[in-house]
Amino acid sequence: MNLSGMVWRNLARRPARSLLTATGIGLAIAFAVSTIGVTQGFRKTFVDGYASLGTQMIVSKVSRDSPLPKPFDQSIGESIAEMPHVEAVSGMYWDLMSIEGAASRVVFGWERESFRWKFLPITSGRIVPDRPDVAYVGILAAAALGKKPGDTMEIESRQFLVGGIFEKNSPIDNSAVILPLDAMQDILDQPGKINFLNIRLRPETTSREFELLRTKIQSRFRGLRACRADELFSESLGAQAAMAMSIGVTFFALCIGTLGVMNSVLMSVTERKSEIGLLMAVGWGRRRVLRMILAESLFQVCSVRWAESSRPFPGFTCSPILVHSAEKLSGTFRRHLLLQQSREPHSLG
C-alpha cells in the first residue's frame, strides 16, 4: 500500500475524529473571513457613501486625540473653490446630537446650496432648501424614531419638521439625520464653522493634478488634511480600532484552527503507538512515518478548503461562497448594530 492509500485508510478508520477536526478548521476559516468581511464592509460603506454624493476630495482638520475632526473656518471653502481643477466645494459639519431627548445620533449639517443635495435619494417627502427648520431623516433612523414626513422631531431641545426620508446604500448614512448647515451651526454655537469640506473635481482631472491640488491646499492652509475618502477612513481612530480588532480576532480564530490540527495529530500519534512501532519494525523510517502523519493533517485542511470553494485548490484565497456569506453577514450585522444603537440611549462620553 502506498503512502496516499495509508493516509486515506487512517482517516476513514476514525471518521468521528476526522470530521470534528475538519469542522473545527472550517469554522476557524469561516470566522476569520467573516470578521475581515465586516471590517471591509464598513470601509466600502464609508468610501461609497462619499462617492455616491459626488465627492472626490475631502478636506478636514483631523485630530489624533478625537474621532471627530476639529472645526475650521467655513470661508476656506471659498478660497479652495477658486483653485484649478475644482468644480464645486461644499462645507459640512457633523457631530453627535441628542434626538428626542434620548439617543445620541450622527447629524450632518449641509450647506443649502451644496451639490450633495441633488444626490440625496428621497424615498418619501421632498427637499425644502429655503427652510432652516426642516430635517431629513435616514430610513433606519426614521424606523427607530417612528417618524414620517410632516412629523416634528426634537434635536438638542429644538423642534424641526421632518421634510423627507432618504435611503442610501450606507447603513451609517441611513441611521443619520441631515440639517441645513446654518441651523446646525446655531445649535452647536459654531457660527461660520465646519469640520469637513467636500470637493468635487472636474471630470478631466488626472491623478497628478489631484496630487498637485492636494499639496497646494495643505501648504496654503496649515493644519488641514486633503485626502480621498479611503485615506480618511484609514486614518480615523474608529477605523484603526476596527482593523486592530479584526486582526486580533482573525489571529485568535486561526490559532484555534491550528490547535485543532495539532490536537488531531497528537491524538493520532498517541493512539497509534503500536501501529507506528510495527511500521518501523517492517522497515519504515522516521521520515516516512512523519510524512504519513503530516499528509493526514494536510489532507484534512485541503478537504475543508475544497469543500468551501467552487473549484478545488485555486490557491489560498477566499472562496466565492465564503466571500458572499461574509458580505451578507457584514450588511446584516451593520444594520442590526446601528438599529440597536438608535433604540438604546447612550451618552456622548
Specify whether 162 is located in the same domain as 273.
no
Buried b (16+ CB within 10 A) or exposed e, 187-219: bbebeebbbbbbbbbeeebeeeebeebbeebee
Q: Are 156 and 106 in contact (CB under 8 A)?
A: no
Q: State the alpha helices, DSSP H only, in 206-314.
A: 207-220, 229-235, 237-271, 273-281, 286-308
| φ/ψ of residue 337, rounded to 5 | -65, -45
The reply to whether 103 falls in a domain is: yes
**Helices marked H in the chain — which ranges?**
3-13, 15-51, 76-81, 139-145, 171-174, 181-188, 207-220, 229-235, 237-271, 273-281, 286-308, 320-343
Same domain for 76 and 216: yes
The per-residue pLDDT for range 310-320, each reduced to its tens digit, is 444 333 344 44
Residues 169, 67 share a domain: yes
Is 48 part of any domain? no
Does 343 score more than 60 pLDDT? Answer: no
209 and 265 fall within a common domain: no
Copy the grid coordinates of residue 257: 484552527
CB neighbours of 310 closer than 8 A, spacing ≥ 6? Answer: 319, 320, 321
Does the global pTM surpass 0.75? no
Cα–Cα distances in angstroms (integers) from residue 115 to residues 76, 91, 131, in the given order = 17, 10, 17
* Whether residue 144 is found in the same domain as residue 90: yes
- Same domain flag for 37 and 65: no
Domain final residue pick, 195, 227, 259: 227
52 within domain boundaries: no
Shared domain check, 262 and 160: no
Q: What are phi and psi of 205, to 5 degrees?
A: -65, 130
Question: pLDDT at position 342, please?
Answer: 44
The last residue of one of the domains, among 177, 194, 227, is 227
CB of 123 within 8 A of CB of 181?
no
* Residue 345: all three cell numbers together: 440611549
Backbone angles phi, psi at 218, to 5 degrees: -70, -30
282 shares a domain with 183: no
Q: Are 113 and 256 in a shared domain?
A: no
* Span 98-115, pLDDT tens digits: 888 766 788 999 998 888
pLDDT, position 277 = 85
Domain boundary (161, 192, 227) is at 227
- pLDDT band of 284, cuts 50, 70, 90: confident
Domain with 142 in it:
57-227
As a whole number, mean pLDDT of residues 196-201 equals 90
The Cα 182–Cα 200 span in angstroms is: 21
Mean pLDDT value across the chain? 77
Nearest to 190 by CA among 65, 95, 98: 95
Higher pLDDT, 235 or 154: 154
pLDDT in tens, 169-192: 777 788 899 999 999 999 999 999
Assigned domain for 31 exists: yes
pLDDT tens for 21-52 read: 777 667 766 766 776 666 666 666 666 666 66
**Are residues 69 and 205 both part of a single domain?**
yes
Look-up: residue for cell 474621532? 67
Q: Give residue 189's pLDDT.
A: 92
